[in-house]
Amino acid sequence: MNVPVQLNRLTEDYQKSDAAHHIHAFVDQKALNAEGPRVMVRGEGLYLWDSEGKRYLDGMSGLWCTQLGYGRRDLTAAAASQMDQLAYYNMFFHTTHPAVIELSELLFSLLPGHYSHVIYTNSGSEANEVLIRTVRRYWQVVGQPQKKIMIGRWNGYHGSTLAASALGGMKFMHEMGGLIPDVAHIDEPYWYVHGGELTPAEFGRRCALQLEEKILELGAENVAGFIAEPFQGAGGMIFPPESYWPEIQRICRQYDVLLCADEVIGGFGRTGEWFAHQHFGFEPDTLSIAKGLTSGYLPMGGLVLSKRIADALVEHGGVFAHGLTYSGHPVAAAVALANLKALRDEGIVRQVKDDTGPYLQKILHEVFGNHPMIGEIQGTGLLAALQFAEDKSTRKRFDNENDLAWQCRTFGFEEGVIIRSTLGRMIMAPALVATRTELDELVEKTRIAVDRTARIAGKL
């Protein structure tokens, strides 16, 4: 299937024009302009090709989103057919359309039974913006309008718009004008870095108890909800210790604080369960979704509500003054529907749980279990992080771990594999359709990149 793309422009020409007009995400634009971005031109399955014809195995599913991989003709056909039939209509004038109705039916057939309604958005950031307003509106409707404060976590990520970045705990984003009132944060449950002498179980409980302390400090009567990713994604693919989520759930229930799971990365099969909270065994009141909902083929997100919240809003709330031009966009909905059908009918989520997920975790442990550079391997399903360590016995990290991880990522690109770096962790989250052979290639190329990094760090 290696069909070359006919390009009528040179890479340098694209780069020059890009530099002239485009501000990229999370980058020093001047430095990027000097370097010139890679120009990606084609995708098929797990593979991408750049404008120079170089092929990459995409170990990150784009940005954790292409569950079905690239080039799925059933998704493009669903989009084309919906565009021909009804390219756009909205949810404002007492109207709806079949694509969004059928998508919701399928979505709730995949979700646990205590969820009943969804508000569609175009992205994960928007889902979390909508979350804040919906949660506050819920508390108004049930007669506790003073419950407004949202608690998030340091190093959590909930998006890049104003309120979503405030909910998140990326301090460097807050410093760039990203704060709003009535938001508080507690520490992240990252045992490898912050656990000190505590066992993971003790540390997990300690982190969870911070939520109780914060609620008591702010007054439970003022706290609307706690938002967290079931595992931190952008923050470094960090799994909390097993003691964490049961304790968080107990605290939220005890103080009547809504438990809001950000499933933007964890949702749609990534862990081998349909949703990551099912893997970790807790029951959130709301779910923020996006990314894998459409396999990234079109932008779409949403906020899923439990029956308790939806009943209050629908039965007692009257008008909820909220709406987006593109909520439930018919073409995005048609693609999401085709995507979820494929994930279900081709048994892909089950395959991640029973076969490819355990296989990836097994080969990672075989290859990196005794690696001199890797202090911890975390993961489940098609999701994994490798933690760099200078001294594995004391969990001491390299002073320049960020540079090393970035270097490792660059070596990966040279070797033809895309993996992601965050601080001292290398992350992989390949498409859920990955075969064992592709996972072998992912891990082997990652090993070469890590070994090259280990040589620079004096570990090999």
Hey, how many other C-beta atoms are within 10 angstroms of the C-beta on 143? 9
Q: Of the candidates 189, 169, 248, which has an alpha carbon nearest to the alpha carbon of residue 213? A: 248
Number of residues forming the site for ligand PXG (CB under 6 A): 16
Shortest gap between Cβ of 179 and ligand PXG (angstroms)?
17
Binding flag, residue 226, ligand PXG (CB under 6 A): no
Nearer to ligand PXG, 233 or 381 (CB): 233
Nearer to ligand PXG, 301 or 390 (CB): 301
Binding flag, residue 264, ligand PXG (CB under 6 A): yes
Phi and psi, residue 186, nearest 5°: -120, 170
Q: Which positions from 373 through 432 interact with ligand PXG, judged by CB under 6 A?
A: 420
Binding flag, residue 157, ligand PXG (CB under 6 A): yes
Nearer to ligand PXG, 107 or 454 (CB): 107
Shortest gap between Cβ of 227 and ligand PXG (angstroms)?
9
Q: Which positions from 266 through 305 interact with ligand PXG, judged by CB under 6 A?
A: 290
Phi and psi, residue 34, nearest 5°: -70, -35
Nearer to ligand PXG, 152 or 312 (CB): 152
What is the arrangement of strands in the sheet containing 425-428, beginning at the earlier edge strand?
374-379, 384-388, 425-428, 420-422
Binding flag, residue 324, ligand PXG (CB under 6 A): no
Q: Segment contacting ligand PXG (CB under 6 A): 14-22, 92-100, 259-267, 377-385?
A: 259-267
Shortest gap between Cβ of 157 and ligand PXG (angstroms)?
5
Binding flag, residue 233, ligand PXG (CB under 6 A): yes
Nearer to ligand PXG, 47 or 157 (CB): 157
Q: Segment contacting ligand PXG (CB under 6 A): 43-51, 141-149, 227-235, 377-385?
A: 227-235
- For ligand PXG, the binding residue among 265, 382, 408, 450 (CB under 6 A) is 265
- For ligand PXG, the binding residue among 58, 129, 229, 438 (CB under 6 A) is 229
- For ligand PXG, the binding residue among 43, 159, 169, 204 (CB under 6 A) is 159
Q: Which residue is nearest to ligand PXG (CB)?
A: 124
Nearer to ligand PXG, 123 or 306 (CB): 123
64 Cα distance to chain centroid:
6
| CA atoms within 13 Å, Cβ hemisphere of 106 | 21
Name residue, tokens 């108890």. 209
d(CA 338, CA 359): 27
Binding flag, residue 58, ligand PXG (CB under 6 A): no
Nearer to ligand PXG, 294 or 356 (CB): 294
Nearer to ligand PXG, 63 or 220 (CB): 63
Binding flag, residue 209, ligand PXG (CB under 6 A): no
| CA atoms within 13 Å, Cβ hemisphere of 355 | 11
Q: Which positions from 102 through 131 interact with ligand PXG, judged by CB under 6 A?
A: 123-125, 128
Q: Segment contacting ligand PXG (CB under 6 A): 6-14, 134-142, 229-237, 391-399?
A: 229-237
- Using CB under 6 A, list all residues that contact ligand PXG: 63, 123-125, 128, 157-159, 229, 233-234, 262, 264-265, 290, 420
